[in-house]
């Protein structure tokens, strides 16, 4: 067999993915997609008119693939029913085009196909330009937007042709796009001549197929961090807030743990919207005080470091009791090997797509970071990796797909400086900056369901979006 065009394709999850997640999942989490919350002045509101500049994922609410965005609000006449219908349709086409970008595999052969398609699309550009010149209404602006989005569709057809495992699906997909483009061109000549509801359903069908295609995405490598989005301002300078990465789509509970010591109270909220408004649903009085801010909620249980010890506690929220506790052998505690900001941050518990982890340092490893994968039920160490990065020189750290990413500071100018792969037992120095908006980070954890970094930034609860480099594999890969 000749070398398949896309035997192993690499897709950089760019801002299309960022728009996808942040415009659907994150707005729904913070309550910005349907109503404007009555919140304190400290909450950063994001208006649809400004365009969503928030978190993205390549996964759906079940945890795997998000391929839909909510387009910026258009200034069409609200009294014109047909205009409103067209606006909704154009927004859906924009959503589809942004999602399609994720599938664009940047290979030399694809590029040649793109060049050919650009020539073929010049005629379409000319038609749009003519319509823009002739029309003296506000519709011109919207056709211009549609034209730009049509340009973004250019790479899709040649790339999808190469998906050998989805040959039948891709053929149908191409035909649907061509038919939809033809209908939209006709709409330019006579608005209202077609069944908008039928077009709407067709776009929804295409989005469903896109989600199926996106399920090919495997774990990715961190390439970029953007944001943050400020969700709320509350609490002291130090603390932790989190959601459960293994929770169902409808379960968006938030847990809030203020301060890094001398506290046992965990506050629960049914959603981020309730968290923003301060509507607590429940509080838990833990049997032990915690140390640090590096806790994690995983599969319905809270994992935290018991104060003045290297003991890890597993506490079930549903049962309201401790299910397991175990000493993390040789791990430093009580500010022996903390992060740069101190705060008893010696032991950092975290979770990713692979499972539950503990990051700490030992005398045996000369104070350098040790990574241990934990059994989520018994807290036993399943396997450990000793790195050469000093724990006291790390600002914070988080795991993505079995790779530990370490920041070089908790202050302004911080960046992801070092990474260690547990898959290959190798490390590399990186240079991935991020905006430390409030100057002091005391908690930074990755949520695999949301594909976001949750952070406590000097009394502000914020979210960062991440851009990952993904590998798409076909059935030819063994």
If asked whether residues 236 and 383 sit together in one domain, one would say yes
Burial class (CB in 10 A: 0-12, 13-18, 19+), 4: middle
What's the pLDDT at 220? Answer: 85
CATH of the domain at 243: 2.40.128.630
Determine the Cα–Cα distance for residues 446 and 304; give it in Å rounded to an integer.
16
Task: Say if residue 331's pLDDT is above 90.
Answer: yes
If asked whether residues 115 and 10 sit together in one domain, one would say yes
Task: Say if residue 10's pLDDT is above 60.
Answer: no
If asked whether residues 230 and 88 sit together in one domain, one would say no
133 found inside a domain: no
If asked whether residues 443 and 419 sit together in one domain, one would say yes
* Segment 274-297 mean pLDDT: 97
pLDDT tens-digit profile of 415-465? Answer: 999 999 999 999 999 999 999 999 999 999 999 998 899 999 999 999 999
139 found inside a domain: no
If asked whether residues 242 and 172 sit together in one domain, one would say no
Contacts of 133 (CB under 8 A, 6+ apart): none
Q: What is the model's pTM?
A: 0.59
If asked whether residues 25 and 160 sit together in one domain, one would say yes
| Exposure of 469 in the CB half-sphere (CA atoms within 13 A) | 7
If asked whether residues 161 and 280 sit together in one domain, one would say no
If asked whether residues 201 and 155 sit together in one domain, one would say yes
If asked whether residues 175 and 255 sit together in one domain, one would say no
140 found inside a domain: no
143 found inside a domain: no
Task: Say if residue 475's pLDDT is above 70.
Answer: no
If asked whether residues 352 and 461 sit together in one domain, one would say yes
Among the candidates 158, 191, 218, a domain finishes at 218
60 found inside a domain: no
- Does 128 or 276 have the greater pLDDT score? 276
Tokens 């944001």 correspond to what residue?
Answer: 227
Please state the domain count of the chain.
2
Determine the Cα–Cα distance for residues 162 and 6; give it in Å rounded to an integer.
6
Among the candidates 218, 237, 261, a domain finishes at 218
pLDDT tens-digit profile of 92-138? Answer: 665 555 555 544 444 445 555 555 565 556 666 666 666 666 655 55
What's the pLDDT at 249? Answer: 83
* Segment 327-333 mean pLDDT: 97
DSSP state letters, 322-371: EEEEEE-TTB--SSSS-BTTBTT-S-EEEE-SS-EEEEEEBTTTTTEEEE
Determine the Cα–Cα distance for residues 102 and 153; give it in Å rounded to an integer.
11
358 found inside a domain: yes
DSSP state of 201: H
If asked whether residues 211 and 226 sit together in one domain, one would say no
109 found inside a domain: yes
Among the candidates 198, 218, 238, a domain finishes at 218
pLDDT tens-digit profile of 254-269? Answer: 999 999 999 999 999 9
Determine the Cα–Cα distance for residues 395 and 414; give it in Å rounded to an integer.
8
Q: Identify the band that residue 56 occupies on the pLDDT scale cut at 50, 70 and 90.
A: very low
If asked whether residues 225 and 99 sit together in one domain, one would say no
Task: Say if residue 27's pLDDT is above 50.
Answer: no
303 found inside a domain: yes
What's the pLDDT at 19? Answer: 39
Main-chain dihedrals φ then ψ at residue 85, nearest 5 degrees? -65, -40
Task: Say if residue 40's pLDDT is above 50.
Answer: no
Which three-class secondary structure string do you get for 221-245? EEEEEEEEEEEEECCCCCEEEECCC
> In 3-state terms, what secondary structure has residue 60?
coil
* Segment 49-62 mean pLDDT: 42
260: containing domain: 221-470
Q: How far is CA 203 from CA 196, 208, 395, in A?
A: 11, 9, 45
**Tokens for 451?**
């594909």
- Does 192 or 347 have the greater pLDDT score? 347
């Amino acid at each position: 067999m000749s070398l398949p065009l896309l035997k192993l394709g690499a897709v950089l999850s760019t801002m299309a993915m960022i728009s996808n997640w942040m415009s659907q999942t994150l707005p729904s989490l913070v309550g910005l997609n349907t109503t404007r919350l009555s919140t304190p002045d400290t909450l950063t509101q994001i208006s649809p008119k400004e365009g969503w500049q928030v978190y993205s994922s390549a996964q759906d609410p079940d945890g795997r693939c998000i391929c839909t965005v909510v387009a910026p609000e258009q200034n069409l006449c609200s009294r014109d029913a047909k205009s409103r219908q067209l606006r909704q349709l154009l927004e859906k086409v924009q959503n589809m085009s942004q999602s399609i970008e994720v599938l664009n595999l940047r290979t030399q052969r694809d590029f040649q196909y793109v060049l050919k398609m650009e020539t073929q699309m010049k005629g379409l550009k000319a038609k749009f330009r003519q319509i823009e010149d002739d029309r003296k209404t506000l519709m011109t602006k919207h056709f211009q937007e549609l034209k730009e989005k049509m340009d973004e569709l250019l790479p899709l057809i040649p790339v999808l042709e190469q998906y050998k495992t989805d040959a039948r699906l891709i053929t149908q997909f191409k035909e649907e796009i061509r038919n939809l483009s033809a209908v939209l061109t006709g709409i330019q000549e006579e608005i209202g001549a077609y069944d908008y509801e039928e077009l709407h359903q067709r776009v929804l069908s295409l989005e469903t197929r896109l989600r199926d295609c996106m399920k090919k995405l495997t774990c990715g490598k961190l390439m970029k961090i953007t944001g943050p989005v400020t969700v709320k301002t509350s609490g002291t300078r130090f603390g932790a807030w989190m959601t459960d990465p293994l929770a169902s789509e409808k379960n968006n509970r938030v847990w809030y743990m203020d301060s890094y010591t001398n506290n046992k109270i965990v506050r629960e909220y049914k959603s981020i919207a309730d968290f923003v408004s301060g509507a607590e649903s429940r509080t838990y009085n833990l049997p032990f005080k915690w140390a640090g801010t590096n806790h994690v909620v995983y599969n319905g249980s809270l994992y935290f470091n018991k104060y003045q010890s290297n003991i890890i506690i597993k506490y079930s929220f549903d049962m309201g009791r401790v299910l397991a506790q175990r000493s993390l052998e040789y791990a430093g505690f009580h500010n022996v090997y903390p992060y740069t900001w101190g705060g008893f941050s010696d032991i950092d518990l975290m979770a990713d797509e692979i499972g539950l982890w503990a990051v700490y340092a030992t005398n045996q490893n000369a104070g350098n970071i040790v990574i241990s994968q934990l059994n989520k039920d018994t807290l036993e160490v399943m396997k450990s990796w000793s790195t050469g990065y000093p724990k006291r020189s790390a600002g914070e750290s988080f795991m993505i797909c079995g790779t530990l990413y370490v920041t070089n500071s908790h202050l302004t100018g911080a960046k992801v400086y070092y990474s260690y792969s547990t898959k290959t037992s190798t490390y590399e120095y990186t240079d991935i900056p991020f905006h430390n908006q409030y100057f002091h980070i005391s908690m930074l954890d990755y949520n695999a369901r949301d594909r976001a970094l949750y952070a406590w930034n000097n009394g502000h609860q914020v979210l960062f979006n991440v851009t990952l480099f993904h590998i798409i594999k076909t059935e030819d890969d063994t």
